[in-house]
Structure 1
Amino acid sequence: MTESDEETLATIASFIDDFYEPHDADKTLVAPLAGEACPWPIDCHDGVERTVSKPSKRSAAKIKSHNRSRERQREELLRLREEEKALRTKLLELAMMRSTRSSQKSEEPDGYTVMAMWKNLATRQYKRRSIAESENMRLRERVLDQRRVIESLQAMMARQLAQAANPRDSLYAPAWKAICADEDPYYRKLVFSELVPKLRGAYESTHLWLDECRVCRGQAHPYVDSRVVAVSSTQIAVEVINIRSFPFNYHVAGDAYWSRGVNYVCSVMDYFKEQATIDEKELVFMGKAFSDEGDLASSKGIRLRTHTASQKFVDKDHVVIASASRTESVHVRYESLPDVRLQEQYWKIFCPSESDPDQACDMLCVGRVVLDLESRLADIPYAVGDLTKYFSTRMHHHLSMAVEKVEDWMLVEAKA
């Protein structure tokens, strides 16, 4: 083999090395460096053996350059693996820190929710003030008109008295008695003795309404709902739910509603009231007269005379004001329904707000009125419908008035 053939073969071997993987190149290039026979196939023609000489110095230098390149790549790979381990460790630490901060943030009071409660309260106060100012202007004008009428009537009466033959005659103004002032005291005590066990039963069923209203508490407040459910084949019940929020502690709101709502605002309908103590808890017995006047063609003209027992219960995580009532006299569209008795139960539950348990609370108000279809209610076709409509709205209306007074009182106490 000539020298030019050897150089050509070495050039071809170097060219082939460029296309081999690092481990293949190692296997390929070890033999030439060690002086062994070349592993590449050699064609044999006419029994003539051909030998391949060792690669040139240029090829050996290129092989060393490839080895150094592979070594650098191997070192770079090891370094990247170490960096990858360090980054994974850092990522795990950051994930743990994020989880810890998220749990701490969820436990912190939600200031935005309390701010929204204060905003809603301020909005309600502003609307009430605007309505009150408009009403004051209207009443002021009406008072001026009435004053002019009174002055003209006084002048007319003065002239008539001056012309009267007997100036000693006087006007007679009859005094109206209370609606049930002549009620039998013994019967009243008997009714209240029957209401006390029902009041206790209403308190013991508080957890049922807490569980049922748990989903409603997450919705926008105030939450108002009324529904009619079947109790049995002969009884139906009108259930009303009203949920509100206060930016006050649940103990403060519960005490304020008991003192200002039950014992002050709602007392305008009382014709009898007596306080007692049972199980070291204050108990209030009341006789209430409800009247919803209106046209004969509407669902108005409803008059009820009701005996009610109310009591406040303070538990570890909520305050409950429970009431049990029995209606003794029912008038629908000014028509009396004798022998009709309505059973009523009411719950006012004050519990800590989920957003800020220390500075805010939710007020869950639930009412349940049972109508017995076997009584005289079935004899009058419109009685059940009118009473259902009446009880579906009465608690919401009375509750709105009570909450307004309670909010005013709590704001005054907060400023003091």
Structure 2
Amino acid sequence: MAGFARAVAHAAQSMRVLFPETPLQENDYLSRKTGARIFLKREDLSPVRSYKIRGALNFFTKALARGERAEVFVCASAGNHAQGFAFVCRHLGRKGVIFMPVTTPQQKIDKTRMFGGDAVEIRLVGDFFDDCYRAAQDFAEASGGQMVPPFDHKDIIEGQASVGHEIMEQMPDGIVPDLMILPVGGGGLSAGVTRYFQDVQAPTRFVFVEPAGAPSLKQSLIAGRRLRLERVDNFVDGAAVAEIGKENFRLLKHFEESQVRLVPENRLCATMVEMLNVEGIVLEPAGALAIDALKDFPRKEIKGKRVVLVVSGGNFDFERLPDVKERALRYEGLKKYFIFRFPQRPGALRDFLDLLGPDDDIARFEYLKKSARNFGSVLIGIETRDAKNFDILRKRFAEGGWAYQDITENEVLAGLII
């Protein structure tokens, strides 16, 4: 076993005083769907419901072993890193200061405070993460505190690599995964796990998954250097990173860009709803990335293969559930939004409703404005049980002479109106 793998094994062992290894579960439902043997590495079942506790604990352990006795440890995060950091601070009795954006949902602030207790202080600074991160760095420099980065540090990477060590220990009958699918945000998990597997010479194929709105690894691999994305869709907040870590990219740059799959955010929502309804598993968007990527594999490509999916987190705020369901319905073609030119006459609404089938339902009806004396613009949301029903509806709209515009996929209009 090479040096990195030995260090990871030691890190994994040191974690047992804080939490047991997370389970590796063979999932019958996904296995039947794909024809493969699907194993889920359930990082959503860690004490803080994500793998981030691993890197934070390893960072603290290494720093203290080196004799680095900072008065205060500092981090900037609006999510899982803050919670892992807080949990470790309380366990080790170390003072921590956590910088979070002012826009952080109260639920995340409360959970972080619960994990850290009296050991941590939370400071809300700035509307955006970059502002918050700069404030944390300034505070650490002025106070002599030690920054604990979310992913771009060798000790963080080593801690996250313990996921890979546990997988190798947990695979039934000592078999090696044929394929491993890893979610990617800043790259700490993917950099650590892939390096560990290389060190133990496991012949496993890797596929990485990013949200379509934040493809920092894929774009960096295409360019052959780290790129900072000009725009990021923050819906998959646990993986919406504008620039992959420097050390992380150094360890990942030899992979092909074709090994990185991009997942549409709305399709991801359908996977979250499916896993909740069928398996009772609560996943945050980033936690569902690896599972969702299965949809891109032809059945013949993975049939009979041993496939491990890392479920990276389950910190889901249920206040987001209506939005997740909405996105899922739109992706599956079961809900659409239209702007109709509605005649201002008695019986017009009844005429329109008569066009609907028994499986069609009006989910939203709202007058936007009167565009003329005899007509008005109306926003209508329609849900149905079968996506094919919209083909029938469009035919009926045309035959009835109804003027309308489908704005379901129009991001600008939908963002303003829906």
TM category (shorter chain) comes to under 0.3
Return the TM-score normalized by structure 1: 0.20
Indicate the structure (1 or 2) with the bigger Cα radius of gyration: 1
TM-score between the two structures when normalised by the length of structure 2: 0.20
